[in-house]
Amino acid sequence: MFERFQTIEHAPMREYTTLRLGGPADWLVTPRSTRELIQVLSEAREADLPVTVIGHGSNLLVLDGGIRGLVIRMAQGLRDCFVQGKLLVAEAGVMMGAAANLAAEKGLSGLEFASGIPGTVGGGVLMNAGAYGGEMSQIVQEVTIAHRDGTLETREKDALAFGYRASALQAGEDIVCQVTMRLNTGDMAAIREKMSELNRQRRDKQPLDVPSAGSAFKRPEGAFAAALIDQCGLKGYAVGGARVSTKHAGFLVNTGDSAQDFLELMKSVQRIVEEKTGIHLEPEIKIMGEDIK
């Protein structure tokens, strides 16, 4: 099945997530164009297979039993990216850092915040990714999506209902194919300097040398997840090979091979923080797949 495409059968999902965790997917396809994506969706419909879409896997925990059906991986596939005046147009599989670098090269400002985000543009729109005061909702002009029936639609920003780490696209099964961002003319040296400074801050504050999925929990209203976790004495707290980073309490890192351990760590941190502070932490990491039967 899917012989016409770039396909891996029984694909180990630990190789496609930054957490380095997860059991096998029945099939993993990396479409190289929107046309191929539509063809893949057609074959999946004919075979009555469930379809799961991922980007770079940087905000994802796949459970140990893996994912049944087809996984479509946008990263390394849909990678076209170009500039038209003040517009930067990027396919969904383009890495956020690559898009930010192209913008800087063309003297366009507004995407500096994304230079160190280890995800794709498509995933960034889906979750309204942001950092250091910037987020995708500030620059997105329109998004082209593919419906599961293979039809395409372009939606303007106002139809995307952006919120904190959220968008209307999360509620359905539509697949982001291309994103158009409106940026501002800026000084190339100043843009590069800002990007370098933000990346220096990331290196200083975040555990970038250990597998993680970025910030594990969303920022609760009126507080910060990392501060709450730290206040509860949870830095270094571990379940098996999963532990709360001692460098940044908002990051849960993986040094083992068990998604179940990582999931249990997330639940334990949530429980302890809620017991001690009354605040419930909502996961920012998306969990998918099934447990080992």
CATH class belonging to 207-288: alpha beta
Q: Which of 73, 79, 165, 243 is catalytic?
A: 165
In the block, residue with structure tokens 């999506």: 145
> Under CATH, which architecture does the 81-203 domain have?
2-Layer Sandwich (3.30)
Residue among 177, 137, 132, 189 at smallest CA distance from 159: 137
Q: Which CATH number fits domain 7-73: 3.40.50.1370, 3.40.30.10, 3.30.43.10, 3.40.50.1100?
A: 3.30.43.10
Beta strands, E only, 55-209: 60-62, 67-73, 81-84, 87-91, 108-109, 130-131, 134-135, 140-146, 152-156, 175-182, 184-185
Please report which helix (H) or strand (E) contains residue 269, including its range: helix 259-277
* CA atoms lying within 13 Å on the CB side of residue 65: 9
Q: Which pLDDT score is estimated for 183?
A: 98
pLDDT computed for residue 173 by the predictor: 87
The whole-angstrom separation of Cα 204 and Cα 15 is 26
pTM for this predicted structure = 0.94
Q: Which uninterrupted H or E stretch holds 157?
A: none
Write out the chain's pLDDT in tens, 293 residues. Answer: 888 899 999 999 999 999 999 999 999 999 999 999 999 999 999 999 999 999 999 999 999 999 999 999 999 999 999 999 999 999 999 999 999 999 999 999 999 999 999 999 999 999 999 998 999 999 999 999 999 999 999 999 999 999 999 999 998 889 999 999 999 999 999 999 999 999 999 999 999 999 999 999 999 999 999 999 999 999 999 999 999 999 999 999 999 999 999 999 999 999 999 999 999 999 999 999 999 87
pLDDT at residue 228, as a whole number: 98
Res 172: pLDDT:
81
Determine the distance from the C-alpha atom of residue 184 to the mean position of all C-alpha atoms in its chain, rounded to a whole number.
25
Query: Is-catalytic flag, 284?
Result: yes
Q: How high is the pLDDT of residue 200?
A: 95
Q: Is 215 a catalytic residue?
A: yes
| Active-site hit among 91, 112, 135, 284 | 284
Q: State how far Cα 196 lies from the chain centre.
A: 22
212: nearest Cα among 260, 164, 262, 269: 262
Please determine whether the domains at 81-203 and 207-288 fall in the same fold group of CATH. no
Give me the catalytic one of 58, 137, 215, 245. 215
Let me know if 245 is a catalytic residue. no
Q: What percent of the residues of the chain are helix, what percent strand, and what percent coil, each to the nearest 5?
A: 30, 30, 40
State how far the Cα of 126 lies from the Cα of 173, in Å rounded to an integer: 11
Cα–Cα distance, 2 to 86 (Å, whole number): 39
Q: Where are the domains of the chain?
A: 7-73, 81-203, 207-288
